[in-house]
Structure 1
């Protein structure tokens, strides 16, 4: 309960665009890295 299970792609792409990053490439790789980032976040919030 209260843990990360997904990323907000729209927010990530908006931030990337504001920073001048390549949003097309980021949009291509986000689905593949999302489970890795979410799992890392969950591990970090478990205190482990």
Structure 2
């Protein structure tokens, strides 16, 4: 069984309801690109 993480794209970020500046803040906070799961968690927290 293979797990596939979707590539984080601007469209995916927007579909999670995050603005580009909010995504940039996430990058600053964690120091790397978030995983798909982390992106979902941040979008729920924001």
Q: What is the TM-score when the length of structure 2 is the normalising length?
A: 0.31
Q: Which has the higher contact order (CA 8 A, sep 6+)?
A: 1
Which structure shows the higher helix fraction? 1
Higher CA-based Rg: 1
